[in-house]
């Protein structure tokens, strides 16, 4: 009878279905048979017990709220532990999933019907056997931002931290902090600092930047993540160099010139292939320039009214100038327009290609000036390094920004290389990428918030000019 009673008191694994996880496990803890007097009597004589009611002299207690003058939490990580900063941008103007839920889309109402789902291109059904996919199409990730808010939500942030914890490296406790850079409520730019980084023996920093888990997180939440190693030089740069076409200006200059002579289609095709890295830049440049033979030399003056300076370019350059930056435009375009743009934006240097002009007819000969180097990828990197060396600026304190394949070398050489709304090949190979609406997004990568940016753009340094 005693045996059956004992078996009822100790449930089997299949019977542990109570509402309390703690109660399930309390029954296996050893019983406490000592009284409080026995516990106190076992203490050494030199130990003095503090009165639990006596107030802590370093704290002031009032109405149940504790105010502390000292941070008593010891730093769990040793001083000098590396840290990584992740800047998360929500892509509000470029949704990955165009189908919005009526409850969260301002353009739709709860009573509206959702559009019919569309079959992905290249998937069944199809009557053409050659068009039937050999394997099922890769499913698109769930559009979580449409469910939890079109901004960097708390759940988005939590999911990002879970991604970091789940990286295939030996497990280690990660300590994180974050701050909203544009606004506290429903932010679109959030900076997350985490430490320690993954062990480089298992996952290098370059591989971390392109990790498939982070890519999937970006797709699910419609965000972009820029990872940087934290240091004083991340926040304090001194030199910024920019590409011109499709970066500081929205146009491709050589395409605009081609419109004057009716060869726009031929030139545009060569330009697109060169920017995607399909053609050698120097050879493609010479091929395009040869099509411009006979164009009046004053074409550059006429183009100034056609060119559109990119959104945020003036504010970005104004802010960097207020911080004491040296700035340059290094362009595969042409020198007259590079110099004009440098004057418009207050840049210190302008280097581009020189077109040969026939002094008699004052027209373009269709050739480049032989005595001047072609501003290709290698030359842009060399110019970045030489300008930095000339002004005693460490390469870690430099920024380069571009969009084409001929910018990749300088993007990798700079302390921070940013592919801005870049071509596909550049998006994949560049150290970092941003596809925002304004070039001022680059300032967030320096740790500046909206208040800092407003002060730099409209503060005393600008008013005095």
E strand residue ranges, 369-463:
398-402, 416-420, 432-434
Q: Judge whether 207 counts as a catalytic residue.
A: no
What CA–CA distance (Å, rounded) separates 452 from 342? 24
How far from 20 is each of 16, 17, 24, 278, CA to CA, in Å?
10, 8, 6, 64
How far from 360 is each of 293, 294, 342, 368, CA to CA, in Å?
14, 12, 29, 17
Q: From 308, 330, 309, select the one nearest 240 (Cα to Cα).
A: 330
What CA–CA distance (Å, rounded) separates 206 from 210? 7
Contact between residue 210 and residue 216 where contact means Cβ atoms under 8 Å apart: no
Pull the structure tokens for residue 432: 């970092």
Q: Which among 145, 182, 245, 255 is annotated as catalytic?
A: 245
Q: Which among 243, 376, 407, 441 is annotated as catalytic?
A: 243
User: Would the CA dihedral through 267, 268, 274, 279 be positive or negative?
Assistant: negative
Q: Give one DSSP letter per residue of 51-74, joined into a string.
A: PTTSPPTTEEEETTEEEESS----
Q: From 153, 174, 170, select the one nearest 162 (Cα to Cα).
A: 174
Helix (H) or strand (E) holding 264: helix 264-275
Pull the structure tokens for residue 246: 């499709």
Q: Judge whether 243 counts as a catalytic residue.
A: yes
The contacts of residue 42 (CB under 8 Å, 6+ apart) are none
Query: Any idea which residues carry the catalytic annotation?
Result: 243, 245
């Amino acid at each position: 009878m005693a045996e059956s009673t004992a078996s009822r008191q100790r449930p089997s694994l299949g019977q542990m279905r109570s509402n309390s996880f703690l109660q399930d496990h309390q029954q296996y803890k050893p019983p406490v048979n000592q009284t409080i007097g026995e516990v106190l009597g076992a203490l050494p004589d030199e130990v003095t017990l503090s009165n639990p009611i006596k107030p802590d002299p370093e704290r002031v207690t009032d109405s149940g709220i504790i105010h502390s003058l000292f941070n008593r939490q010891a730093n769990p990580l040793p001083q000098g532990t590396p840290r990584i900063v992740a800047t998360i941008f929500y892509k509000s103007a470029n949704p990955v999933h165009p189908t919005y839920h009526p409850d969260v889309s301002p353009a739709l109402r709860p009573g509206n019907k959702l559009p019919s789902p569309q079959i992905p291109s290249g998937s069944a059904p199809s009557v053409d056997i050659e068009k039937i996919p050999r394997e099922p199409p890769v499913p698109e990730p769930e559009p979580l931002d449409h469910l939890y808010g079109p901004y960097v939500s708390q759940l988005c942030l939590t999911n990002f931290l879970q991604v970091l914890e789940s990286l295939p490296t030996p497990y280690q406790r990660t300590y994180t902090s974050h701050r909203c850079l544009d606004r506290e409520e429903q932010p679109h730019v959030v900076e997350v600092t985490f430490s320690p980084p993954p062990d480089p023996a298992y996952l290098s920093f370059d591989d971390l930047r392109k990790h498939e888990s982070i890519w999937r997180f970006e797709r699910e939440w419609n965000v972009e993540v820029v990872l940087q190693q934290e240091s004083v030089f991340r926040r304090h740069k001194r030199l910024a160099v920019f590409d011109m076409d499709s970066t500081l200006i929205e146009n491709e200059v050589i395409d605009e010139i081609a419109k004057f002579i009716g060869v726009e289609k031929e030139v545009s095709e060569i330009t697109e292939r060169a920017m995607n890295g399909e053609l050698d830049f120097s050879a493609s440049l010479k091929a395009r320039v040869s099509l411009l033979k006979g164009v009046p030399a004053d074409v550059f003056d006429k183009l100034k009214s056609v060119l559109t300076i990119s959104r945020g370019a003036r504010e970005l350059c104004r802010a960097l100038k207020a911080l004491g930056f040296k700035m340059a435009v290094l362009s595969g375009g042409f020198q007259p327009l590079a110099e004009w743009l440098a004057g418009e934006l207050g840049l210190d240097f302008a280097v581009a290609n020189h077109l040969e002009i026939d002094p008699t007819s004052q027209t373009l000969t269709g050739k480049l000036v032989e005595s001047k180097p072609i501003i290709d990828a290698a030359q842009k990197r060399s110019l970045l390094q030489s300008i930095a060396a000339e002004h005693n600026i460490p390469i870690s304190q430099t920024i380069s920004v571009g969009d084409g394949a001929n910018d990749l070398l300088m993007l990798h050489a700079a302390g921070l290389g940013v592919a801005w709304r870049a071509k596909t090949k550049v998006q994949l190979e560049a150290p970092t990428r941003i596809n925002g609406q304004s070039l001022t997004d680059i300032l967030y990568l320096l740790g500046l918030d909206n208040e800092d940016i407003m002060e730099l753009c409209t503060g005393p340094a600008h008013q005095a000019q």
